[in-house]
C-alpha cells in the first residue's frame, strides 16, 4: 500500500495509522495524547492532518488507504493547532521547574514552535486538588489535560483505580474509593502533562547526605536508562558514571543491587526446588515486584500462598548493609514508584530496623544530579564499592521482563542436575510479549514456566498449568518501570533491555551461584538458617488497606 504525505510517496501497511507512517519517515506531526501502548484517545486534537478531498482528520486514528493524499502543514492546520494548544494550556497549570517532563516537555516545545500565548485564557483549573496515593504517587489535577491516558493505562493494568467522575460540568479524573492503587506508576509514564509524579524523597535524602553515612544502591535496570535523564541515547550503559555521580552527591559507598539479585535467585531457586519436590503450592510466583505483591494481597488473596517468601533484592542488600556498615542510611535508586511503598512494609523490618531508608526513582536521581550541576556525560567512570562489587550477568538481567526467570532457571538447573545449562541464553523468556511461556527439562522433570509483564495480563491467565511464574507489573519489566525516565514506549523498552542482555553476554560470570561475593555473603553474614530467614525472607497478607 502507498500513501502520499506532503506530495511524497511512502510505503505503508494496511491497518496502520497515518501518524505512524509519517513519524517513521521523519515527518513531524505534533501528537501529545497519543501513546503507542494505548488505543488513540483522540483527545488533544493536535495531530491534525488534511486528507485531500475529505477534510481535516486526526492522524493518530486515521487508518491509511491506498492512494490517500495527506497534508501535514497548512495555514488552516496551523490555526487549528494553535487554538487547541491555547485551550490545552488554559486547563494546565504550568509548574515546569518541578515537572517530570521538564526540558523534554512536548507541550512547551509546541507552544514555542506555534508561537502561542500560553496564558491567553485564565487557568480554569486553578485551585484544583492534589491527591496522594500511598507513599508512592501524587496526582496534581490542576496539571491534567484530560486525555485520560492514565485511566486507560490503569485499566489495562487490570486495576481500574483511576476513573472518571462528573463534577461542576466537567468529567474529571478521580480515584475510585472502593479500589486500591498498586503504585505501579504507569499513570506517570503515560501522562503527557506531568500531572502524575512520584512522592519525592529528594529533600530527605539531601538532608541525610549532609550528616550521615549514606550508602546508595541502584537497581539492575538503572544502568541502561539513567543516561536518558541527561539526553544520552536510549539504552546507553552508564554504570561507572552513575557511581561517580552518586559519590559526588555525597554517597560514602555505592553498591549494585544486581549483587543481591543473585542472593534472591539462590534463595528463590532453593524454594522452587523444595516446592517441586513436594509438589506443594505450585506454581510458585516471583515476589520482587511490590506492585504485583500488593495486587495479590488486595485483589487476589487466594494467590498469596503461591508467592515465594524471598524478599526483593534491594531489601536483602539493605539488610546486609545494615549488618555490615557503620550506622548507615540506605538509599535505593529504583526504576520504580512501588518500591517507595515496599520499604514501608512492616514485615520487612529487621529487629525494628528498616533495611532501606529511602527510595529515589531514576527520574529523581536524575533531577538531583542536574540540580547539583554535575555534567553527567563528562564524568569519569568509577568502580563499585566492596565488599559487594562487580555483579554477575544473571543479576543484571533482573531489570528486564524474564530476567528473574532466566537467572533462576540457570541456577535451579545446576542445583538439580549438577550440570550447567547447555545454553544459558534462554531466549524464550526474553522480550516484550505480555505473556511468555517455556518448558525446560531439568533432570527427569519438565518444568513449565510463564512470564507475565503488564499486570493486566494476569487477569484470566490459567496459572495452574505452570510450575513457576514471574510477574512484573510494568510492561517490559523494571526497564519500563513507573520510576523510569519518560517517555517510555516499546522501542525504548527494547533498547534498555538489549543493553542489559549485552552486559550479561560479556560477563565472565553469568550465574548467580558462581558469584564470589555471594559466597562471601553466605559465609560471613548469612551463615545460619535463622539469619537467612531474617534477612532474605518475608510474609504477606497484612497490607490490604495500607
**Which span sits near another protein by CB under 8 A: 164-172, 186-194, 269-277, 450-458?**
164-172
CA dist 198 → 40, 337, 544 (Å): 25, 6, 21
Which of 91, 236, 258, 265 is the binder for another protein (CB under 8 A)?
Answer: 91
- Binding of another protein by 119 (CB under 8 A): no
- Exposure class string for 165-200: b at 16+ Cβ within 10 A, else e: eeeeeeebbbbeeeebbbbbbbbbbbbbbbbbbbbb
Give min distance, CB of 58 to another protein, in A. 8
Taking the least distance from each CB to another protein, the nearer of 103 and 170 is: 170
Give min distance, CB of 114 to another protein, in A. 13
Taking the least distance from each CB to another protein, the nearer of 50 and 229 is: 50
- Binding of another protein by 23 (CB under 8 A): no
Rounded to whole angstroms, how far apart are CA atoms 493 and 486?
11
CA dist 103 → 200, 349, 389 (Å): 19, 39, 34
**Which span sits near another protein by CB under 8 A: 83-91, 285-293, 297-305, 464-472?**
83-91
Which of 1, 71, 83, 304 is the binder for another protein (CB under 8 A)?
Answer: 83
Cβ atoms of residues 410 and 424 within 8 Å:
yes
Taking the least distance from each CB to another protein, the nearer of 121 and 522 is: 121
Alpha helices (H) in 236-312, listed in sequence order: 239-249, 258-278, 290-299
Geometric angle at alpha carbon 187, from 186 and 188, rounded to 5°: 85
**Which span sits near another protein by CB under 8 A: 42-50, 237-245, 283-291, 435-443?**
42-50
- Binding of another protein by 159 (CB under 8 A): no
Cβ atoms of residues 192 and 149 within 8 Å:
yes
Give min distance, CB of 41 to another protein, in A. 8
Strand order in the sheet with 213-218: 253-256, 213-218, 328-334, 358-361
**Which span sits near another protein by CB under 8 A: 48-56, 103-111, 401-409, 418-426?**
48-56
Rounded to whole angstroms, how far apart are CA atoms 88 and 181?
28
Rounded to whole angstroms, how far apart are CA atoms 5 and 537?
59
Give min distance, CB of 109 to another protein, in A. 17
Beta strands in 13-129 (DSSP E): 48-51, 55-58, 69-71
Of the candidates 235, 483, 220, the one whose C-alpha atom is nearest the C-alpha of residue 341 is: 483
Give min distance, CB of 72 to another protein, in A. 15
Q: Looking at the chain, how many residues does it have?
A: 546
Which of 146, 229, 262, 467 is the binder for another protein (CB under 8 A)?
Answer: 146
Query: What is residue 491's three-state secondary structure?
Result: helix
Give min distance, CB of 16 to another protein, in A. 15
Taking the least distance from each CB to another protein, the nearer of 45 and 311 is: 45
- Binding of another protein by 229 (CB under 8 A): no
Give min distance, CB of 195 to another protein, in A. 15
Give min distance, CB of 106 to another protein, in A. 15
Residues in the site for another protein, rule: CB under 8 A?
Answer: 40-45, 48, 55-56, 58, 61, 76, 79-80, 83-84, 87-88, 90-91, 120-121, 124, 145-146, 148, 164, 169-171
Amino acid at each position: 500500500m502507498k500513501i502520499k504525505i506532503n506530495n511524497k510517496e511512502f510505503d505503508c501497511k494496511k491497518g496502520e495509522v497515518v501518524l505512524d507512517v509519517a513519524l517513521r519517515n521523519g515527518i513531524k506531526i505534533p501528537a501529545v495524547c497519543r501513546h503507542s501502548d494505548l488505543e488513540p484517545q483522540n483527545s488533544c486534537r493536535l495531530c491534525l492532518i488534511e486528507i485531500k478531498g475529505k477534510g481535516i482528520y486526526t492522524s493518530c486514528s486515521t487508518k491509511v488507504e491506498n492512494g490517500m493524499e495527506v497534508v501535514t502543514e497548512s495555514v488552516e492546520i496551523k490555526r487549528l493547532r494553535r487554538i487547541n494548544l491555547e485551550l490545552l494550556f488554559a486547563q494546565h497549570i504550568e509548574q515546569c521547574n518541578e515537572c517530570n517532563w521538564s526540558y523534554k516537555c512536548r507541550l512547551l516545545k509546541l507552544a514555542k514552535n506555534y508561537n502561542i500565548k500560553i496564558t491567553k485564557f485564565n487557568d480554569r483549573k486553578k485551585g484544583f486538588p492534589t491527591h496522594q496515593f500511598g507513599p508512592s504517587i501524587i496526582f496534581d489535577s490542576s496539571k491534567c489535560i484530560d486525555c485520560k491516558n492514565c485511566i486507560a493505562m490503569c485499566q489495562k493494568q487490570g486495576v481500574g483505580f483511576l476513573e472518571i467522575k462528573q463534577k461542576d460540568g466537567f468529567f474529571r479524573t478521580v480515584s475510585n474509593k472502593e479500589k486500591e492503587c498498586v503504585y505501579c506508576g504507569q499513570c506517570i509514564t503515560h501522562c503527557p502533562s506531568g500531572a502524575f509524579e512520584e512522592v519525592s524523597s529528594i529533600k530527605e535524602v539531601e538532608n541525610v547526605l549532609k550528616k550521615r553515612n549514606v550508602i546508595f544502591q541502584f537497581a539492575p535496570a538503572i544502568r541502561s536508562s539513567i543516561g536518558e535523564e541527561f539526553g544520552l541515547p536510549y539504552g546507553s550503559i552508564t554504570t561507572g558514571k552513575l557511581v561517580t555521580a552518586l559519590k559526588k552527591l555525597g554517597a560514602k559507598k555505592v553498591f549494585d543491587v544486581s549483587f543481591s539479585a543473585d542472593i534472591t535467585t539462590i534463595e528463590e531457586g532453593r524454594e522452587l526446588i523444595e516446592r517441586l519436590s513436594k509438589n506443594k503450592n505450585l506454581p510458585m510466583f516471583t515476589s520482587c515486584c511490590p506492585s504485583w505483591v500488593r495486587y495479590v494481597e488486595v485483589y487476589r488473596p487466594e494467590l498469596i500462598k503461591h508467592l515465594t517468601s524471598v524478599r526483593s533484592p534491594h531489601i536483602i542488600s539493605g539488610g546486609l548493609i545494615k549488618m555490615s556498615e557503620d550506622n548507615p542510611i540506605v538509599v535505593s535508586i529504583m526504576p520504580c514508584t512501588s518500591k517507595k511503598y515496599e520499604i514501608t512494609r512492616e514485615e520487612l523490618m529487621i529487629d525494628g530496623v528498616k533495611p532501606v531508608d529511602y527510595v529515589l526513582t531514576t527520574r529523581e536521581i536524575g533531577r538531583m544530579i542536574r540540580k547539583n550541576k554535575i555534567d553527567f556525560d563528562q564524568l569519569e567512570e568509577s568502580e563499585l564499592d566492596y565488599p559487594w562489587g562487580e555483579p554477575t550477568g544473571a543479576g543484571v538481567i533482573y531489570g528486564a521482563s524474564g530476567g528473574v526467570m532466566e537467572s533462576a532457571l540457570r541456577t535451579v538447573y545446576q542445583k538439580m542436575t549438577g550440570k550447567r545449562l547447555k545454553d544459558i541464553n534462554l531466549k524464550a523468556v526474553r522480550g516484550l510479549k505480555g505473556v511468555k511461556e517455556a518448558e525446560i527439562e531439568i533432570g527427569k522433570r519438565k518444568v513449565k514456566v510463564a512470564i507475565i509483564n503488564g499486570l493486566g495480563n494476569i487477569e484470566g491467565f490459567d496459572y495452574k498449568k505452570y510450575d513457576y511464574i514471574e510477574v512484573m507489573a510494568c510492561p517490559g519489566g523494571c526497564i519500563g518501570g513507573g520510576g523510569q525516565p519518560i517517555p517510555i514506549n516499546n522501542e525504548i523498552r527494547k533498547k534498555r533491555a538489549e543493553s542489559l542482555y549485552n552486559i550479561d553476554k560479556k560477563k565472565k560470570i553469568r550465574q548467580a551461584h558462581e558469584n564470589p561475593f555471594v559466597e562471601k555473603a553466605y559465609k560471613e553474614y548469612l551463615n545460619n538458617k535463622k539469619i537467612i530467614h531474617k534477612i532474605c525472607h518475608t510474609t504477606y497478607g497484612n497490607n490490604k488497606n495500607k
